[in-house]
Structure 1
């Protein structure tokens, strides 16, 4: 897969990201890694493999970039996979968006319905479970009672469009405000990001695997 092409990042976008403690240079690798991992799925994998692998890489790289460069910590709270700043004021997660993602004049929605945890995140009304948190592992943090309500929970939305051999990934970093029936219907803030372009897309009728696999079986 060739290196991605994307438009220059406007200074205003970089400044808004910097105010949150992040940078385009942390978000771009996550999107790129997700697309690369998506392409490891073959037609013989389960139908949701490509999307699942892309999501997992989005989360992993997003966390690693912020942990390595900004001292953030990974956070798993109320089933939300996030990365959280040291002050516990801002956290970032990922979710696939619809065709309005990255389009300033439109209101995007998440591509798939989310669970109640996302609604609680949007409304800052999460339930606190337990009086004590387990001890944190390296690069991991936990929230004390009341901290979740004070945490701004942003999401890196992305929407993939394939045109011939080219894939365009539209994205934005946005703050959900209201969720209805599993879908974000109102955003408090949105930061549209440059479009990534990648080529070398594997066609569905390409090789479905690495060739013949010889696995010796001892029948007893």
Structure 2
């Protein structure tokens, strides 16, 4: 297939070539299998929710567990996890980029349609998104992450359940309008295998807004 690019939100270019998408995933040290496994395991977990749980529990659990399973799959390769500002980031060993999973609305995985974060985000997310793609300065975070944590570009694993099918893409945000992230430098659709419908609504809430909770880095211990 011949690679083709066309303008995306913010005047950036995006490719229509699936081979290019796969190449970019490899460059980012991730894979479709990684994301499919994390999303599938999170969906299995929320099937334990019942009508006696809080209404937002399935959505919150799906968000949390997806990020957890991504971390558990990659920490043994040197990736590091942080929850600063309640943004569950998984940081590459080189500190070249990070990944976080959030729910999305719109045309997830469809480059002909607009896509945005499903739920409103706060000031910490706005600062983070605006810094994506900028050259970082050496600061106090050097000792831990190799650079200032918020200067590490963060890719979003966007997910959406639609008529029993899970849609997903890995995309690099560059701007928020209002409280929603909706402009992207690059979007990589993910051709997920068929995953079983979780059988419950995960759209009510996916992550908390900014908080003043302390940063916690989780180390997974071998039993």
TM above 0.5, one fold?
yes
1:148 aligns with 2:145: no
Contact 1:170–1:196 (8 Å) recurs in 2: no
Give the CA deviation at 1:199. Answer: 3.9
Residues 1:107 and 2:145 aligned together: no
Aligned partner of 2:50 in structure 1 is 42
User: Displacement of 1:34 after TM fit?
Assistant: 1.8
Q: 1:17 aligns to what?
A: 25
Match for residue 191 of structure 2?
194
Q: TM-score, normalized by length of structure 2?
A: 0.71
Corresponding pairs, count: 178
Bigger-Rg structure (1/2): 1
Structure 2 spans left out of the alignment, 5+ residues: 1-17, 133-138, 202-223
Aligned to 1:171: 168
Bigger helix fraction: 2
Query: What's the counterpart of residue 69 of structure 2?
Result: 61
Mapped to 2, the partners of 1:93 and 1:50 lie a distance apart of 18
Q: Which one has more relative contact order, counting CA pairs under 8 Å at least 6 apart?
A: 2
C-alpha separation in 1, matches of 2:146 and 2:162: 40
Normalised TM-score (structure 1): 0.72
Offset of residue 123 of structure 1: 0.8
Q: Is the 8 A contact 1:26 1:66 kept in 2?
A: no
SS of residue paired to 1:120: helix
Q: Distance in 1 between matches of 2:115 and 2:197?
A: 28
Residue of 72, 91, 95 corresponding to 1:84: 91
Alpha-carbon RMSD across the aligned residues, in angstroms, is 2.5
What displacement does 1:144 show? 6.6
Q: Structure 1 residues 182 and 144, CA, compared in 2 at 3 Å: closer, same or farther? A: farther
